[in-house]
């Protein structure tokens, strides 16, 4: 068996089908454990470099007060030194936690490290990522990795100066290994934070919205080839969805599963108050897709953007 065949087989084992709240059947690929580890290393490097730059900037603005305070030892620290030290602690705290929270709560659901390797966080239920899920999975990361790593480093330093650490270092290593190996004992490569938060990490290939869909079928002709009916939607009807739903609808139209077409057709009709009947679902959805896309692109030209159905155009 060739290496290419091995990679294809491994990728197929990571294939899943995500059912969205709108009834869309979306094929996804679970991110590999290697890509997740690579993204985490990149993120930690970015955070560490950022923290060093923040400390240098605060010290530069304060005229070296932080360095003087660090070297003061038993001497009294000036008020300016204490103030800048507190500012530094607050800024570093916000940088450490805000880095993951702000980026994963964004429309891409990915940090810089995840975007670099082509993966993102997604809700296992197929809905929107709630803030509490992102907060939970990132707080758990400290318990899984950061705290045991700190314990190991502290134990090594204490041991290096001749102090007895007892079993602390071994306890910290066991703690770290339990959580580090957790993704290897479930098929979706979930870490403990993903289990608690109801999330998983999936591949997010860099693909553009397909231009071809807007030039085919009812999307191009404006009317159905089956019934001859022309579907025209008003701004109020199109405003119920945003960019996320547009992308999901495009993937569903490309997949072209009949049961998914019917389910999404019924969902959209209920949402906008239409009753066009059955048998012409694809033409209806193609027309809705084309007109929704045109509306979103037109709004963006005027500085208005609607990320998904939950957000207002801004």
Give the DSSP H/E element, type plus range, for residue 49.
Answer: helix 33-61
Handedness of CA 160, 165, 166, 171 (dihedral sign): negative
**Residue, of 149 and 276, whose pLDDT is higher:** 149
**Whether the predicted pLDDT of 304 surpasses 70:** yes
> Are 193 and 50 found together in one domain?
yes
- Total domain count for the chain? 2
pLDDT value at residue 5: 41
Q: Are 241 and 293 in contact (CB under 8 A)?
A: no
**CA nearest 281: which of 239, 308, 249, 309?**
249
Nearest 10 degrees: CA dihedral of 190, 194, 198, 199?
A: -80
Residues 44 and 134 in one domain: yes
Tell me if residue 242 falls in helix, strand or coil. Answer: coil
Residue 296 has pLDDT above 80, yes or no: yes
In a domain, 289, yes or no: yes
Residues 159 and 115 in one domain: yes
Round to whole Å and give the CA distance between 186 and 156.
32
Residue 241 and residue 126 share a domain: no
Let me know if residue 169 belongs to a domain: yes
DSSP E strands in 20-108: the ranges are: 25-29
In a 13 Å sphere around the CA of 110, the CA atoms on its Cβ side amount to 21
Query: pLDDT tens, 115-134?
Result: 999 898 988 877 677 889 89
Confidence of residue 206 (pLDDT cuts 50, 70, 90): low
With tokens 């807007």, the residue in question is 214
Give the count of beta carbons closer than 10 Å to the beta carbon of residue 59: 18
Instruction: Give Cα separations from 70 to 64, 65, 82, 154 (angstroms).
Output: 10, 9, 10, 20
In a domain, 238, yes or no: yes
- pLDDT value of position 68: 56
Quote the pLDDT of residue 194. Answer: 92
Measure the CA–CA gap between 306 and 272, rounded to whole angstroms: 17
Q: Is the pLDDT of residue 191 over 70?
A: yes
Secondary structure (3-state) at 190: coil
**pLDDT > 90 fraction of the chain, expressed in percent and rounded:** 10
Contacts with 41 (C-beta within 8 Å, 6 or more apart), sequence order: 113
Q: In sequence order, which residues have a C-beta less than 8 Å from that of residue 91 and are 6 or more positions away?
A: 54, 58
Q: Which domain holds residue 237?
A: 212-300
> Which pLDDT band, with edges at 50, 70 and 90, does 236 fall under?
confident
Is residue 70 situated within a structural domain? yes
Cα 211 to chain centroid, rounded:
25
Residue 147 sits in the same domain as residue 120: yes
Q: What is the reported pLDDT for 23?
A: 58
Q: Are 143 and 264 contained in the same domain?
A: no
Would residue 306 count as lying in a domain? no
- Out of 203, 236, 255, a domain closes at 203
- The predicted structure's pLDDT at residue 35: 92
- Is residue 46 in some structural domain? yes
Domain end point (choices 168, 203, 238):
203
How do residues 64-117 score in pLDDT, each as one tens digit? 555 555 555 445 555 666 777 777 788 888 888 889 988 888 877 889 999 999
189 with 216, same domain: the answer is no
Band (208; pLDDT cuts 50, 70, 90): very low
* 223 belongs to a structural domain: yes
Q: Is the pLDDT of residue 210 over 50?
A: no
If asked whether residues 194 and 120 sit together in one domain, one would say: yes
**The pLDDT of residue 41:** 92
| Domain closes at, from 161, 181, 203 | 203
């Amino acid at each position: 068996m060739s290496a290419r065949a091995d990679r294809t087989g491994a990728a197929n084992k990571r294939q899943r089908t995500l059912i969205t709240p709108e009834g869309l059947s979306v094929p996804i690929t679970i991110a590999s454990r290697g890509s997740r580890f690579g993204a985490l290393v990149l993120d930690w490097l970015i955070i560490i470099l950022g923290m060093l730059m923040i400390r240098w900037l605060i010290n530069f603005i304060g005229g070296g007060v932080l360095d003087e305070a660090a070297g003061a030892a038993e001497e009294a620290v000036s008020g300016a030194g204490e103030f800048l030290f507190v500012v530094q602690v607050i800024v570093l705290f916000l940088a450490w936690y805000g880095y993951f929270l702000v980026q994963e709560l964004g429309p891409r659901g990915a940090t810089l490290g995840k975007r670099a390797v082509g993966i993102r966080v997604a809700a296992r239920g197929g809905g929107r990522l709630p803030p509490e899920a992102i907060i939970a999975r990132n707080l758990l990361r400290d318990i899984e990795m950061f705290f045991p790593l700190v314990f190991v480093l502290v134990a090594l330093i204490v041991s290096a100066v001749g102090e007895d650490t007892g079993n602390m270092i071994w306890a910290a290593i066991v703690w770290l290994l339990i959580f580090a190996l957790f993704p290897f004992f479930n098929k979706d490569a979930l870490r403990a934070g993903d289990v608690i938060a109801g999330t998983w990490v999936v591949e997010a290939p860099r693909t553009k919205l397909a231009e071809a869909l807007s030039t085919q079928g009812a999307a191009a002709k404006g009317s159905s080839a089956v019934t001859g009916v022309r579907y025209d939607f008003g701004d109020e009807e199109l405003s119920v969805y945003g960019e996320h739903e547009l992308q999901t609808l495009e993937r569903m139209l490309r997949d072209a599963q009949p049961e998914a077409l019917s389910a999404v057709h019924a969902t959209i009709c209920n949402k906008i108050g239409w009753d066009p009947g059955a048998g012409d679902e694809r033409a209806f959805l193609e027309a809705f897709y084309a007109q929704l896309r045109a509306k979103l692109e037109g709004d963006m030209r005027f500085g208005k953007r609607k990320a998904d159905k939950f957000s207002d155009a801004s």
